[in-house]
Each structure stands twice: as C-alpha cells, then as structure tokens.
Amino acid sequence: MKNVFVLLIIISFLSPISSSPPHLKYDSIFSFGDSLADTGNLLLSGARTFPYIAMLPYGETFFHHPTGRCSDGRLIVDFIAEAYGLPYLPPYLAVAKGEKFEHGVNFAVAGATALDAKFFYDFGSQLLLTNDSLSVQLGWFSKLKSTLICSTRQDCARRFQKSLFLVGEIGGNDYNYPFFAGGTIQQLKALVPLVVETIANATSATCRLDATRYLTLFRTPNKAAYDRNGCLKAYNGFSEYHNYNLKLALENLRHKYPHPKIIYGDYYAAAIRFFHAPYLYGFWNGALVACCGGGGPYNFNNSAMCGSPGSKTCSDPTTYANWD
C-alpha cells in the first residue's frame, strides 16, 4: 500500500473553517499538490507512467467515468468546493488548452514532489510519475495569473482577498521515491529540512499575493515493527517527525505574515482514528486493505496496480478506508 505524506495548507484573511456550514463566501479556490488533490492534470499530461488512471474503475462511484482523480469518486478538494458552493476545480492543463474557468484552478499533479524532479534523478530514482513538481505548479499559477486572472496589483489584491489557497497534499512523494530506490529512514530524515523549506517557501510566495486563507494537510501514517493498528512504527515515527518540523515552519510564517490565516489540516491524526476503529466510520473491511489492487494481504501489488490486468476491485468501495 502506498506510503503517503500529507500536507494541506489553507491561507486566508478570514475566519477559520468550521464543521458547520460555511458562512464565508469565496469566489475561487487555487489548489497545489499531488494525487490527493489532482483533478486531471496527470491524465491531461498523457499519463504515460500511469495509464490506468484513464480507465475504470477510477471514477466509477461518483462521476461514473475516469476524470484523472486517483479515486473511485471525489477528493477532499471537491468536497471543499461543494461546501462553499463552488464548481469543481478544472485542472490547469485543461485551462491552458482553452477550458473556461471562473472560480479557481487546480494545479496539483498526481505523483508530484515538493523538491524539483532533478533532485530525485540524482538520488537514483529511475522514473518519477511526473516531473511537475511544486515549483512547476507555482510557475503555472504565475503564468495564468499574469494572463487570465488579474493584470494589476490592485486587481490581484481584490481577486485574491476572496480566494482560498490549498497548498498540499505535497511532500509525500519526496520520501516515497527515495524509499523505493532503497533509501533508509536516516536518509529520508536528511531530506525533511529540504522538503519542509520548499513547502514553506511556496506558502510564503502565495502569502505575498494578499490571499485570504491557506490550508496545509500533513502526512498520513504509513500503513505498512507493527503497532496495535498493524502499522509500522518506524514509518509512523517518521511521519510525526516530518509533521513536527512542518508545524514549526508554518508557525514562523504566521509571525511573518500575521494577516492571512494559515491553517494546517492534520491527515495523520484523522487517519489514525480510522486505523484505531474503522468500524465506527462504516469501514467494515478495515483500514489496511485497499478496495482496488493486485491481491495479497493488503490487496496491493506494485506489479498489478489498480486498473491494470490482474488487479481486482471490491464490490462496495464505501466499506474500505483506502481505494488503491
């Protein structure tokens, strides 16, 4: 099953989001990240490294056709858009080809890293899912901003005062790629300052836009010695180490930029609840087994990914905490 490091940053000048129906009105959302936020950019880029995302069962539950989301249905960014009465965000590569947008754009790309792709090729990774790292996504945003979103500083300030920026999930693949290339926990720990600094710098760049809210999602626990939930202690400890350092970096940003609301969403704590008691949330098939995959104790096999020949899909995805 995939190791996932999750970070989502929300930046806003307005009041925090609560669990009750939102009373704030945003005109647009701009999202950056990887597979937990991508609404079609990897697919539109050709998806040569993961062609199965263009096929069912991806998208089967809600959209009833593949959309480029790494899910059977919607993603968190979709639910956030719904909560604020906004349409689902179009992927940037669709906008770049002429698709209209009025309420924001999604720049996230499945498989993306915070650090630039060259870093990982130098490390020894043979093939990344995409080279469209966080800096590439920020470059897309900058290009779109200057041509289609706003043309003057005053115009941009008015536009972004009513915008929600989602920075993340991003950072997980920065550890996954070296890990699968044979990296040790100690080698991965050495990457944490670089990854955290890159995410903090990206957040800082968006703070200078006079945006209103930023949300950052932190890394989820590794599901793969095991704790009482069946999770590897060493990798969960690493997740906590990454999250701790990221929280410190975000706290520094709050002091530097006192007006925007910089909020972090901790996927790790939320996911741990699922692993502790999945049945309380309706996940009758548990939290460690994927709905779609290539078999084995976790229904996960790198040689038979979801959608590929030899993989299988469960009959009821709603009873599984993990899709693929």
In the chain, where the domains are located:
8-267, 277-324
Q: How confident is residue 312, by pLDDT bands cut at 50, 70 and 90?
A: very high
Q: What is the mean pLDDT of the segment spanning 258-287? A: 83
CB 214 within 8 A of CB 18: no
Could you tell me the pLDDT band of residue 212, with boundaries at 50, 70 and 90?
low
58 and 66 Cβ atoms separated by less than 8 Å: yes
Say what the pLDDT of residue 161 is: 84
Q: How far apart are CA 303 and CA 67, in angstroms?
A: 23
Report the Cα 48 to chain-centroid distance in Å.
Answer: 20
> What is the C-alpha separation between 109 and 131, in angstroms, rounded?
9
Across residues 128-138, what is the average pLDDT? 96
User: What is the pLDDT, as a whole number, of residue 153?
Assistant: 83
CB-CB contact of 231 with 222 (8 Å): yes
H/E stretch holding 312 reads strand 312-313
* Rounded Cα–Cα distance for residues 226 and 278 (Å): 17
Q: How confident is the model at residue 40 (pLDDT cuts 50, 70, 90)?
A: very high
Cα separation, 200 vs 204, in Å, equals 6
Fold classification of 8-267 (topology level): Rossmann fold (3.40.50)
User: What totals of helices (H) and strands (E) does the chain contain, helices first?
Assistant: 10, 8
Show the tokens assigned to 266.
């901790």
pLDDT of amino acid 56: 96
* Residue found under tokens 């949330």: 281
Look at residue 206 in the predicted model and tell me its pLDDT. Answer: 84
Helix (H, G, I), strand (E, B) or coil at 213: strand
pTM as predicted: 0.88
Write down the pLDDT at residue 240: 84
The residues pairing with 262 across neighbouring beta strands, listed in sequence order, are 11, 214
- The CA-to-CA distance between both ends of the chain, in Å, stands at 7
Give the pLDDT confidence score for residue 2 in this predicted structure: 43
